[in-house]
Structure formats: C-alpha cells, structure tokens
Structure 1
Amino acid sequence: MRVVAAMSGGVDSAVAAARMVDAGHEVVGVHLALSQSAATLRESARGCCTIEDAGDARRVADKVGIPFYVWDMAQRFKEDVVEDFVAEYTAGRTPNPCLRCNERIKFAALLDKALALGFDAVATGHYAQIVDGPGGRELHRAVDPAKDQSYVLGVLDADQLAHSFFPLGDTTKPQIRQEAAERGFSVAKKPDSHDICFIADGDTKGWLTRRLGEQPGDIVDTEGEVVGQHQGAFAYTVGQRRGLGLKVPRADGAKRYVVDVQPRTNTVVVGTQDLLGIDILAADHARWCGPVPVGELRVGAQLRAHGEEFAAVAVAEDDRVSVRLDRRARGVAPGQSVVLYDGTRVVGSATITSTERSRTAQG
C-alpha cells in the first residue's frame, strides 16, 4: 500500500512510520504545519508543531529512508479546531480539541488529501488497535491502558477506519521508547506533548481571556446569592473547584464546585460536591465506528480521556444519543464527548449537550 505517515516530530509517530516501512508499505512522511506562527523552539513538553518538531520529524524520515513533506493546514486547523474551541467555551461548554482535530484534520483534511493524491491510507502514532471483524474493520483499545487513545479516535467512521493504520496499539510506551533508541532515533527520549497543543503554557483561562477579553460577572450559589466575582464565565467548567476566589464561604465550611455555567447571563453557579453527580446524558453529533446501533445497547461509557468506564445503556436516534449510566459520574460538562464501548471495541461517540440526575442511581 501507499501510505502517508503523519509525523509530529515525537517518538510515537517516528516508530509508527518505521514500522510501516518494515511492513513493506510505500511510505511518505508528512508533518502537518498547524500553527500560523510556529515557535522556533519548544518551550515545554506541552506544545507541539514547532519548527523544532518539524526538524525532528525530517531527521527520522531521513534515517528511515522515506520522502518527507510539510503540509500547511494552519488555516484549516484555526477554523475547525481553534475557533471551535473558543466558540464552545463562549457557549458555556467544555470541548475536547483533540477529538475535533482527529475528526476534522488528521482523518478528514489529511486523509482526504492523501486519498486524492493516490495514497491508500494514513498511519499515525496513536495508541489504539484496528481489528478485522465480521462487519469490517473495528477500532479497539490499545494493550497499554495508560496510553490508550481510543477515546480521542471515537469520532472516526467506518470509511475512515478502512484507510487508517495505528501500528503502536499492541505495544507499551516504554517498549516504544526502547525501540526508538535501538533504531537510533534522536527523539527516543523526547518528552511527550500533552494537554492542549495550541496553548503551550497550559493556561487555558489566560489564553481564553486574551482572546475574548475580560467579561466581569457574578458567581452565585444555588440559592442565587452572590458569593464571588469572575472575569469571564467562559473560563469555568463544571466540576471545577480551584481558582474560584469566592468571597462568601458556606456556613458549614463545605467546599464548593462549579455546577453550572450560564453564558447568557454571564453567571457561574457553584454548589456542593453532591450536586455534581449525574447519570443521564443527552448527546448529539453522533459518530459511529461501524453500523449505527439499533434499539437499546449495553455499553461502557467513557466521559473523558483516560477516565473510567461506566456501565450504561445507550439509545441512538439519527445523530443523537441518550445514555443512562448504571451509577453516577461527577463533573460531567456539556461539550465533553461520551465514547461508547462494547468490551474493547469502540462503538462510537457523541458530544454531550445536557445532563440529568435521577433519584434512583447510586454514586
């Protein structure tokens, strides 16, 4: 097969590209330029897409002996990921930009361009497995639970899976670093990027404030009493406890958490931890990694990357999904993604629009 290996400049994508060459494929390395003003040097382990990263990817491609190109997708990334991220926070939701990037950039823009140029598939360094099942290719969890990235790949549909390779899914991260060292890759000990790649310092609140400006408003308790002030409701998310700066403590001294963000009134609502427990989810923008489920389906529901899996029942209708958890989950915010599993197989994903708390659930 003719395969595009997406090379970020990190150790995972380096080994993935090398393994595709070893498997006998005709491989071309591609680094995606996603920043319109890429930094010269990586400032920490958080960022990515720096000039340094592109250079690291090129050196690996040279060592493996494959052609290497940089594809400029900065404008597409800005529109489909960064602006979506800002819009979601402005609307009081908490998005996951990694899922949007996988859906709209790596497995839409990149894959579409690769197929248009005559390639057969795209390979990435994600930790997940593709298994040939009775109904076609299936997406499964990686063998390394600490690195499993099937959650952020839950947006892929069956056609995209048919043109995807994840060569690292059967390997642990320490093994990948050892393999990279044995291959002589300079990135063998390079730190992983993490959190949000376009917020290199990890300060989401500061980044959003610089983008949107300060928007002062009230922090209120569940009775409507003003207990503090904020500089922008967009900077808060359900379940948040730190950085609230409340002026009026509860009489019983109980800690308070964000339980609601109301963008129309620019209000943040805080309450006690017990109010965070929910067990009913409504979600839209459903994406299925195979056939659309019919009727009720017993699933495992994962609500955040590397979060625990909750036993649940899901019902799909058009592009919407309703999910009832067997026990309550805490701190679930609209905008997060729920990814559904059947064992290790990813069934699909959807974006949470609302949550509820039944009277009967435990937790």
Structure 2
Amino acid sequence: MILYLHIPFCTSKCGYCAFNSSSDFFHLQDSYLLALLQDLKRELEGKKHLLTSIYIGGGTPNTLSSNAYEKIFELITQFATLTQDCEITLECNPSLITSSWCEDLRSLGANRLSVGVQSFFDDKLDFLQRDHQGRDIAKVLQKACSAGFENLSIDLIYGTPLDNQVRLKQEIALASSLPLTHLSAYSLSIDKGSKFYCSPPTLPLEDMGEIVRLELESRGFRQYEVSNFCKPYKSLHNLSYWKGEEYIGCGAGAVGYQEGVRYTKLKHIPSYIKNPHQRSIEVLKEEERLLERLFLGLRCEVGVPLSLLDANKVKTLIEEDKAYIQEERLKARDFFLADEIALYLS
C-alpha cells in the first residue's frame, strides 16, 4: 500500500498551477495539521497497512516545519508498518529549502526530495510566476546532498513561449550537471483553475516532447513514463499508480483508491479542517477500471496484460510497430502515442 499526504499551502500561486493549493490560509496551518493527523489516524488505525511509499505533495510541503513532520511520521509509524526500503518523498520549493529543514527531515526518515525547479532561466521563471531564480538551484540541491539526501529529482516545464530547441538543450545540460537520480519534464498545459486559464498565453505550435526526450536520453536519463526519466532511480510511488495499485489519500483534496472505490477529501481548506473525514465517493465500473489500466499502463514501461486485450487489435499494433510484447504485456514503443493506442484498444 502507498500513502499520499497533501499540504495545500503556497507562498504564492504560480500561473500554470491548477492543483489544490492556496496562499490565503497560512494562519490555519496549526489547525490543518491537527485535521490531517485525525484524517491519517482514521485511514490507518486498525488496518495493519504495510507501506512501501509515502509521498507528500502540494502545494508546498516545505512550508510546514520539521516539528510538524515529526508529529506526522510519529502517527504513521504508530498505526502502520513501513517496509525497510520505504520510499518517503517530499515535494519542495527551492526558495524555501534550508539546511536545517533538510537535516531534520532526513533524520525523520525522508529519503527523497522532488524539487520544483521548472526552469533554469530567470525570464522563464518570471513567466511561470515562480519565486526563485536560476542561480539558486545548484545551491539548494547541495544543501539537500549535505543533509544526506542521495535521491533527488527535479521538475522541468517546457513548451512555453520562451522555449526553443537551443534553450531546451541548455536547460537539460544544466540539469545534467546536478546530482540528480530522476527528472520529470512536463509540457505546459493551460488547465482550468489556473491563472493562465483566465488569461492564456500563446503557446508554440511545435511539439517539443521528442526534443526533450532525445536530449535527456543523450545525457543518461532514460524515459520510463511519458514525463518521467530515471538516472537510474524510478519513483516507486508513481509506478504504483501506473500499475493500478490501491492507495490512501489524506489531506485537503487528496484522492485515495481502495477496493474499486475512488474517494476525494474536501478541497476547501477551512471545510476540510472542520471535517477531515468527509469524502466524495466514486464506485468505478469494471470497464472504467480497464480503461484506466490501459491509459496508465501504456504511458509507461508497465504496459498492459495481454489477457485484458483484443488479440486482433494487439496484432495490428505489433504489425504497425506501435507496440511490442514483453513478459505477456503489451507496451507502447512511443509513450507519447499512449493515449492514441489506449483509445484504439478500448
């Protein structure tokens, strides 16, 4: 079983962000922590879960103090067992990373950081409405390394009006010079709920995904999912999602999935604090679960079991060299075509 915790606080809202986060409720952090602990206890108590991964996302998880995380981890270990190699990841904003915070979290058992770099260029960071600068990145990653974090990942965003082949190659070169074991590269999308959605920028027509993939692979990052590259580390937490495994979700707007039921906690932070146990429920039909297996499995190296698929359609995909069979699973040759293949198979 894997566990996701949501920390919805941000110092400011980035233009592209449509996640459940806010810069308006910092005065409720203490109350939120109490509600999150209640939520966790309800989800874990009496279940005897063996956790293989804990992922703390946001928002900005490093807006919470190490003292808050001490309480969170104490409760988790009280009601659940962590595997010896349990992956414990926290997302981080570079501008808020300190040596003492890293040292404290490492001492509590955290072993992986995912840092929201997004770009190394200040003009692009300004466009994305980030609050750090390119010169900060190497310094904050060194703080994490000095604290004992050997497993570091960063996020990059491409496909902005400021991107071209030359600049993308420069960004990837800069990323390759850092002590990373993983990198996530996302094409900028204009999603409902983001600032950009209200006033959308003009995006380039050129699809830059293949340029990013080739450049990253030339520098030792291997694509194992449409947006994720390992060097050599693969995110255990994300792989669990892509395999269709069950997961627990705690926090405002957090999603969980167990026994064919998907649930979502209240998104509004004050409402969640008042009732952290309230959730909306979606019972997935068999065909809906199959469709998710197709879309999630084909967009990464996991693939889809042949037993779930139409043999004639599989044969066509093999003949057209769009997919291949490995260990009784169908896998896409090009993850960027995964959605198209999934639709054909569904």
TM over 0.5: no
Q: Shorter-chain-normalised TM-score: which range?
A: under 0.3
